[in-house]
Amino acid sequence: MGYSDGVPSPGAVQPVRVLLSTKESHSPLLGPRKVTGSRPPYMNIREVAKKAGVSTATVSRVVNGTVPVSTVVERQVRSAIKALGYYPNTHARTLGSGRSHMYGLIISDIANPFFPDILKFFERIAVEHGQEVLIANTDYQPQRMQVCVRRMLERRVDGVAIMTSEMDPKLVRLLNKRGIPIVFLDTGRVGPNISNVFIDYVSGIEQAIEHLISLGHKRIAFVSGPPTLASAKTRSNAFALSLTRKGLSLSADYMQIGNHRIDGGQNAMAKLLKLRQPPTAVMGSNDLTAIGMMREIHAAGLQVPGDISVLGFDDIEISNFLQPPLTTIRVPRAEIGVSAFNALYAANRRGNDGTEYRISTELVIRESTGLVSPRSRRADEIS
């Protein structure tokens, strides 16, 4: 059955045109039948106001979030909206309120399980508050940030959560100049319309170092993330500080650079294994790095933790299902996502004062860390 330039070819099946009446429809097989039922009434803001027992202005305030209302009134309005199946026209809302009811969320790598968890909780609470989320991914490339910020400006977002550190200060000033609230992950300085979610890396890393020392480890290495990332530098500095506080020496050979991905951890571990005196324990700047390190250790015919203990950072879901399950430092992504949203939402409702939210980290001990091997212990005693 073919068509060429809109003309049916010989033997082609001819389309059947069906005409429907509002009262009666015809079928060549079943004959005429009555169309039952009526079109449901169009739900608008007046119907919602009537059911909730409030004014249309109050409904508008709840839907648009422009002026705070009491918890009781908001509950009444949202209950009426749900009961009537009312869906506000987003374009009309934008024109009426001057706000897009959309927040931007910029992350480093959508393929890294750390970020989808943040996105999940950020988006969940945003929907609960009638907001939409525009996502942008930098792929750890600072030059992509300009494209991400331009998208945010074009869509006239009401705030931007920057959950990455590939940020040009000029772009921050551009957003700030437009009066757009910003919240950073760990790299921001609180000020007008600027908030920061601060992660206490030092606490978690110190717990990890104490854990390794208790197992007899002295030669402890670290594989960082990309040196261009401020967050990666923060984790590296926290590791060096914690090691020094515990009286352990820090060898430059034991500080390797990765890329926050599995291949980066694998390549860095290969370099560590070639050292005349390899480390007995290695910490990765994130869990993907640690997974790569474990893979290289196994490829070299060694055992985790029998020969080398491995620690990660973040506690992504898969960490508990590795063989062996990964000891790691937990960073609560749910708390990060909710805090980032709260910072933007508060800035839209209360004014331009920024806030700092502090997030604690904790060590999760599993089976990838163990006692230092007798052979390594003897080598440490001799040296």
pLDDT tens-digit profile of 223-242? 999 988 888 888 999 999 99
In a domain, 36, yes or no: no
In a domain, 129, yes or no: yes
Across 369-378, average pLDDT: 83
Mean pLDDT is highest, among 53-57, 90-94, 224-228, 338-342, for 338-342
124 vs 249: which has the higher pLDDT: 124
Q: How many domains does the structure of the chain reveal?
A: 3
In a domain, 279, yes or no: yes
Query: Is the CB of residue 217 less than 8 Å from the CB of residue 381?
Result: no
Which pLDDT score is estimated for 381? 61
Using a pLDDT cut of 90, give the percent of the chain over it. Answer: 54
195 and 208 fall within a common domain: no
CATH of the domain at 72: 1.10.260.40
pTM recorded for the entire structure: 0.74
Q: Which of 74, 96, 118 is the last residue of a domain?
A: 96
Residue 86 pLDDT grade (very low, low, confident, very high; cuts 50, 70, 90): confident
307 and 265 fall within a common domain: yes
Which pLDDT score is estimated for 25? 45
* Rounded Cα–Cα distance for residues 99 and 184 (Å): 21
Mean pLDDT rounded to a whole number for the chain: 85
> Is the per-residue pLDDT at 3 higher than 50?
no
Across 86-90, average pLDDT: 68
Across 57-84, average pLDDT: 84
Which pLDDT score is estimated for 378? 65
213 and 311 fall within a common domain: yes
> b vs e for 296-315, b when ≥16 Cβ sit within 10 Å of the residue's Cβ?
bbeeeeeebbebbbbbbbbb
270 and 377 fall within a common domain: yes
In a domain, 32, yes or no: no
Mean pLDDT is highest, among 81-85, 178-182, 357-361, for 357-361
Which pLDDT score is estimated for 22? 44
Which pLDDT score is estimated for 91? 56
In a domain, 84, yes or no: yes
195 and 338 fall within a common domain: yes
Which pLDDT score is estimated for 92? 55
The pairs formed by 318-321 with CB atoms below 8 angstroms and a separation of 24 or more are: 318/113, 318/287, 318/291, 319/287, 319/290, 319/364, 319/366, 320/366
Across 264-289, average pLDDT: 97
In a domain, 286, yes or no: yes
Which pLDDT score is estimated for 99? 65
133 and 168 fall within a common domain: yes
CATH of the domain at 312: 3.40.50.2300
Query: Is the CB of residue 260 less than 8 Å from the CB of residue 232?
Result: yes
194 and 206 fall within a common domain: no
> Is the per-residue pLDDT at 6 higher than 90?
no
18 vs 277: which has the higher pLDDT: 277
Which pLDDT score is estimated for 133? 95
Cα angle, residue 159 at apex, residues 154 and 160 outer, rounded to 5°: 85
Which pLDDT score is estimated for 11? 46
Domain coverage including residue 248? 201-330+363-382
> Is the per-residue pLDDT at 315 higher than 90?
yes
In a domain, 174, yes or no: yes
190 and 117 fall within a common domain: yes
Q: Which of 57, 75, 96 is the last residue of a domain?
A: 96
150 and 296 fall within a common domain: no
201 vs 67: which has the higher pLDDT: 201
In a domain, 17, yes or no: no
Residue 341 pLDDT grade (very low, low, confident, very high; cuts 50, 70, 90): very high
> Is the per-residue pLDDT at 323 higher than 60?
yes
163-220 pLDDT tens trace = 987 777 888 888 888 889 999 998 778 888 899 999 999 999 999 999 999 999 999 9
Q: Which of 96, 130, 156 is the last residue of a domain?
A: 96
241 and 367 fall within a common domain: yes
320 and 219 fall within a common domain: yes
Which pLDDT score is estimated for 165? 75
163 and 178 fall within a common domain: yes
Residue 105 pLDDT grade (very low, low, confident, very high; cuts 50, 70, 90): very high
> Is the per-residue pLDDT at 98 higher than 50?
yes
Using a pLDDT cut of 70, give the percent of the chain over it. Answer: 83
Residue 142 CA: distances (Å) to CA of 17, 230, 336, 340: 56, 12, 22, 21
Q: Which of 94-98, 257-261, 300-304, 340-344 has the lowest mean pLDDT?
A: 94-98
